[in-house]
A and B are shown apart, each in its own frame.
Chain A
C-alpha cells in the first residue's frame, strides 16, 4: 500500500469528559493539515469519559504520527485507527426531499428499498431517516439527487470493535 496515498481512516478515541478536550484533539489534526471529515462525540457507559469517533482523510504515515500525538495528550485515554479492521461502523442521516404529490410514490419506493423511515411529511416535502454504513448512505444520497434534496444532515460514523475486543 502506498505510504502517501490519501484514504479515509476511522479513528476512535476514549477521552476525559472535560471542556477543552475537543480543541486539543482537533489541533493535532490541524497542525499536520489533516482534514477531519466527520466527528462524533458521545457519552460512554462511564460518565467521566467520552467517546470520539473521527473519520479523516490523508496519508497513512502522517496519520500514524497523529495517532501517537493524540495518545500523548493527557486527556486521551487511548486513540486507535480502526481502518482495515473488522469493526461495526454505522451512521444515521436525515434527508429532506422536495416531494410534490406526483413523485411521492417514486420517492417512497426508493425509501423502502433503503429501509428508510419516513419521519416527516408535508404537502411538498418528505423527510427520510436512514441508518447503515457509509456506502449505503452515499448510495441513497445519489439516488435522491434526482429529486431536489432540500437538506441533509448526517451524524458521522460511529465505530465499535466486534466481540470482546475494546474499541
Chain B
C-alpha cells in the first residue's frame, strides 16, 4: 500500500500519467465530471473537441502518427455512443485507442438511469477489448492492461466504462500489482520452418512482388522491407494503409494496388509469379474476385493475427509473427535471383500507363493534389477523408516515410480526415500537416475548426469541392445509367467565409493556373489553421478502377464508352 488515499478518477489519471499520456481528447458530462476534475491537477493536456466523434478521430490521428494509444474521455450515454463510429474506424484499421466513458453509478446499471447506455454491449463487436470497472481497487491494473492491449500485438481500441460511484470511491492504491492477461499472447518470431520455406520461394521467383500493408508500418518494418526489396530487386506495391511502408519515390515502388491502384501495380499483380503480403489482410478492395486473385502465383502471408490466414485467400505459406522480425529473418536467408526482365517489364508499364489527367478545362482535383505533392515533396503528414479526393490523394501524394499518411481504410469513415489531422498536428507540432477532404465529408466534422483554431494549429485543410458526393456520383454515372440520386450537395456553405467565421484563414482556388500560387501562399500561412476551397470540376472520375468483386482483368483505365455491368462486390 502506498498509504496515500486516492479516488477512482485520480487513480485513473495517475495511470494515464504513468503511460506518459500527453493529451486527452474529450468532452465532459455528468458521469465523467470527477475525471475532468482530477485532470485539472495533472500535466496532461485536455483537448476539448466539439463532438465526441471528432475527439475519437483526433485520438486516432495522434495514435497513427506516434504509435502510442490515443486517449478519449467522454461522458455516459450519448457521449459514449458518439464515439462508436470513431472506435469502429480505429478497430478496422488496427489503431490503438483507450476510450474512457463515464457511466451511471453501479447500483443504477441496467435500470435505464439518466444517460445510461450499455456501451460495453454496444461496442463489443468493434473493440479489441473492454472493461466495466466495478471495484475501485481494479483501476490501476485495468488502466495498465488497457494500454498494453491497445498498443501491443495487432493494436486496437480498448474501452473502459467507469461508473461515477467508482470514480469518487476512495482507496489506497497498491503499487505492486500485476497485469492478469493469461489469454493474451503476442506472437513475435515466426515459425522458422515457414520462414525458410518463404525464403526458398522468394529465392526462386523471377517475377516477385511485395505487398506492404499497415502491419508493416505498425511493426516498424520499413527498413527490413527496403533491405529485402533492394537485395532481391523486388518491386513493391502497397495497400491504401500501407502507403509509407516503402518510399513511393523509390525506383522499385509501383504505388498502391487495388480498386483505384495504379495501372502498373495492378498489372504487376496480374503477372507476378509470387506475391508476399507483409502485414496486409488481402482486403476485398485488393483481391477483387478472391478465388482467382493471383491464381498462378505463389502467395505468402505474414501476419501477426492468425485469424487473417485463409480468410480472404488461401496462401501457400503463412507466417504468424511480427512483420519486422519475420522480414529481418527472411533477409538473412534469401538469395537474389534474376529479376531484371521483370523490372524492365514494369518500367514499360509505368511509361505506358502512368497516372494521368487532362490539364485543360475546369480546375482538376488531380492537378491540385499533384502540385501539392510537388510542393511538399513527401515532407508532410497528409490525412485524407473518404471519397474520390481520397483516392486521388493516394495516387498523387507520394508517401515516403511511415506514419505520414492517415486515412480511414477499413471503415471508409467520412468525417475522419480533418479531426485526424488535428491529432496528428498535436503529436507533431513542427511538421506540416495537411488534411485533404471532400466537401461532403468535411461537413460531417467541420465543427472541429474551433478546436484547431483555439489550439492555434497551423494545419491546412484542402477541400476538393465538387459540390457532389463525388464517389457515389461516380458509381451512379458508371453503373446506374447516370441516374443521380441523393448526391447533389446543393446548399454547401461558402467555405472561405465559414473558415473566417471560426477565425481561420480561407483561400479559394478556381483555376488551374492559380493552383501553385495559392497553395504556396496557404502553405506559408502558419498563424493557425487555414482552409483552401478548391472548386474543382464537378463530374470527374477516379481511374484506374477495378469494379468491386471483379478480377483485375476487368480494370478500366478511362471512362468506358459503353455502360459497365453492375459490380458484383459489395462496395
Give the contact stretch, choosing among A62-70, A101-109, A147-155. A62-70
Asked if B121 lies at the interface with its beta carbon under 8 angstroms from chain A, I say: yes
Q: Is the CB of B121 within 8 A of A23?
A: yes
Q: Is the CB of B306 within 8 A of A78?
A: no
Query: Could you tell me the distance between the alpha carbons of A73 and B158 in the complex, rounded to whole angstroms?
Result: 12
Query: Could you tell me the distance between the alpha carbons of A71 and B320 in the complex, rounded to whole angstroms?
Result: 14
Asked if B107 lies at the interface with its beta carbon under 8 angstroms from chain A, I say: no
Residue of B nearest to A69 (CB): B307
Q: Which residues from chain B contact A72 at a C-beta distance below 8 Å?
A: 305-307
Contact check: which of A69, A71, A74 meets B129 at CB < 8 Å? A74
Q: Is the CB of B124 within 8 A of A15?
A: no
Quote the shortest CB–CB distance from B301 to chain A (angstroms).
13
Residue of B nearest to A30 (CB): B125
Q: Is the CB of A31 within 8 A of B307?
A: no
Q: Is the CB of A78 within 8 A of B310?
A: no
Query: Could you tell me the distance between the alpha carbons of A75 and B184 in the complex, rounded to whole angstroms?
Result: 8
Query: Could you tell me the distance between the alpha carbons of A15 and B125 in the complex, rounded to whole angstroms?
Result: 18
Asked if B182 lies at the interface with its beta carbon under 8 angstroms from chain A, I say: yes
Q: Mark B131-151, 1 if CB is under 8 A from A, else 0.
A: 010000000000000000100
**Chain B 163-195 residues near chain A, CB threshold 8 A:** 181-184
Query: For chain B, which range describes its interface: under 10, 10 to 19, 20 to 34, or 35 or more residues?
Result: 10 to 19
Q: Mark B91-132, 1 if CB is under 8 A from A, else 0.
A: 000000000000000000000000000001100110011101
Residue of A nearest to B120 (CB): A20
Q: Which residues from chain A contact B311 at a C-beta distance below 8 Å?
A: 65
Q: Is the CB of A74 within 8 A of B310?
A: no
Q: A73-B183, A78-B183 are in contact. Are A68 and B132 (CB under 8 A)?
A: no
In this complex, the member of A27, A71, A72, A76 whose beta carbon has the largest number of chain B beta carbons within 10 angstroms is A72
Quote the shortest CB–CB distance from A27 to chain B (angstroms).
6
Q: Which residues from chain B contact A71 at a C-beta distance below 8 Å?
A: 306-307
Query: Could you tell me the distance between the alpha carbons of A150 and B15 in the complex, rounded to whole angstroms?
Result: 58
Contact check: which of A20, A23, A75 meets B183 at CB < 8 Å? A75
Query: Could you tell me the distance between the alpha carbons of A31 and B311 in the complex, rounded to whole angstroms?
Result: 14
Q: Is the CB of B132 within 8 A of A77?
A: no
Asked if A162 lies at the interface with its beta carbon under 8 angstroms from chain B, I say: no
Query: Could you tell me the distance between the alpha carbons of A24 and B120 in the complex, rounded to whole angstroms?
Result: 10
Q: Which residues from chain B contact A20 at a C-beta distance below 8 Å?
A: 120, 124, 130, 132
Q: Which residues from chain A contact B310 at a C-beta distance below 8 Å?
A: 61, 64-65
Query: For chain A, which range describes its interface: under 10, 10 to 19, 20 to 34, or 35 or more residues?
Result: 20 to 34
Query: Could you tell me the distance between the alpha carbons of A78 and B181 in the complex, rounded to whole angstroms?
Result: 12
Q: Is the CB of A24 within 8 A of B305?
A: no
Residue of B nearest to A78 (CB): B183
Q: Is the CB of B149 within 8 A of A74?
A: yes
Q: Is the CB of A27 within 8 A of B307?
A: no
Asked if A167 lies at the interface with its beta carbon under 8 angstroms from chain B, I say: no
Residue of B nearest to A20 (CB): B120
Q: Is the CB of B120 within 8 A of A74?
A: no
Asked if A16 lies at the interface with its beta carbon under 8 angstroms from chain B, I say: yes
Query: Could you tell me the distance between the alpha carbons of A61 and B313 in the complex, rounded to whole angstroms?
Result: 12
Q: Mark B273-315, 1 if CB is under 8 A from A, else 0.
A: 0000000000000000000000000000000011101110000
Residue of A nearest to B309 (CB): A68
Q: Is the CB of B124 within 8 A of A27?
A: yes
Q: Which residues from chain B contact A31 at a C-beta distance below 8 Å?
A: 125
Q: Is the CB of B183 within 8 A of A65?
A: no
Q: Which residues from chain A contact B305 at a C-beta distance below 8 Å?
A: 72
Q: Which residues from chain B contact A16 at a C-beta distance below 8 Å?
A: 182-183
Q: Is the CB of B183 within 8 A of A15?
A: yes
Quote the shortest CB–CB distance from B137 to chain A (angstroms).
15
Q: Mark A34-65, 1 if CB is under 8 A from B, else 0.
A: 00000000000000000000000000010011
Query: Could you tell me the distance between the alpha carbons of A68 and B132 in the complex, rounded to whole angstroms?
Result: 25
Residue of A nearest to B153 (CB): A72
Q: Which residues from chain A contact B124 at a C-beta distance below 8 Å?
A: 20, 23-24, 27
Query: Could you tell me the distance between the alpha carbons of A27 and B310 in the complex, rounded to whole angstroms?
Result: 21
Query: Could you tell me the distance between the alpha carbons of A20 and B124 in the complex, rounded to whole angstroms?
Result: 9
Q: Is the CB of B183 within 8 A of A27?
A: no
Q: Which residues from chain B contact A64 at a C-beta distance below 8 Å?
A: 310
Q: Which residues from chain A contact B306 at a C-beta distance below 8 Å?
A: 68, 71-72
Query: Could you tell me the distance between the alpha carbons of A71 and B124 in the complex, rounded to whole angstroms?
Result: 16
Q: A27-B125, A74-B129 are in contact. Are A68 and B183 (CB under 8 A)?
A: no
Query: Could you tell me the distance between the alpha carbons of A28 and B161 in the complex, rounded to whole angstroms?
Result: 22
Quote the shortest CB–CB distance from A20 to chain B (angstroms).
6
Q: Is the CB of B128 within 8 A of A74?
A: yes
Q: Is the CB of B307 within 8 A of A74?
A: no
Residue of B nearest to A24 (CB): B124
Quote the shortest CB–CB distance from B110 to chain A (angstroms).
11
Q: Is the CB of B307 within 8 A of A65?
A: yes
Quote the shortest CB–CB distance from A56 to chain B (angstroms).
17
Quote the shortest CB–CB distance from A123 to chain B (angstroms).
44
Query: Could you tell me the distance between the alpha carbons of A23 and B120 in the complex, rounded to whole angstroms?
Result: 10
Q: Which residues from chain A contact B125 at a C-beta distance below 8 Å?
A: 27, 31
Contact check: which of B121, B132, B181, B309 meets A74 at CB < 8 Å? B181
Residue of A nearest to B184 (CB): A74
**Chain A 76-127 residues near chain B, CB threshold 8 A:** 76-78
Quote the shortest CB–CB distance from A19 to chain B (angstroms).
8
Closest 7 CB pairs of A and B: A68-B307, A77-B183, A74-B129, A69-B307, A76-B183, A74-B184, A68-B306
Binding site for B on A (CB under 8 A): 15-16, 19-20, 23-24, 27, 31, 61, 64-65, 68-69, 71-78
Binding site for A on B (CB under 8 A): 120-121, 124-125, 128-130, 132, 149, 181-184, 305-307, 309-311
Interface CB pairs A-B, < 8 A, 26: A16-B182, A16-B183, A19-B132, A20-B120, A20-B130, A23-B121, A23-B124, A27-B124, A27-B125, A31-B125, A64-B310, A65-B307, A65-B310, A65-B311, A68-B307, A69-B307, A71-B307, A73-B129, A74-B128, A74-B181, A74-B183, A75-B129, A76-B183, A77-B182, A77-B183, A78-B183
Other than the given A16-B183, A72-B305, 20 more pairs (CB < 8 A) read: A19-B132, A20-B132, A23-B124, A24-B124, A27-B124, A61-B310, A65-B307, A65-B310, A68-B306, A68-B307, A68-B309, A72-B306, A73-B183, A74-B129, A74-B149, A74-B183, A74-B184, A75-B129, A77-B182, A78-B183
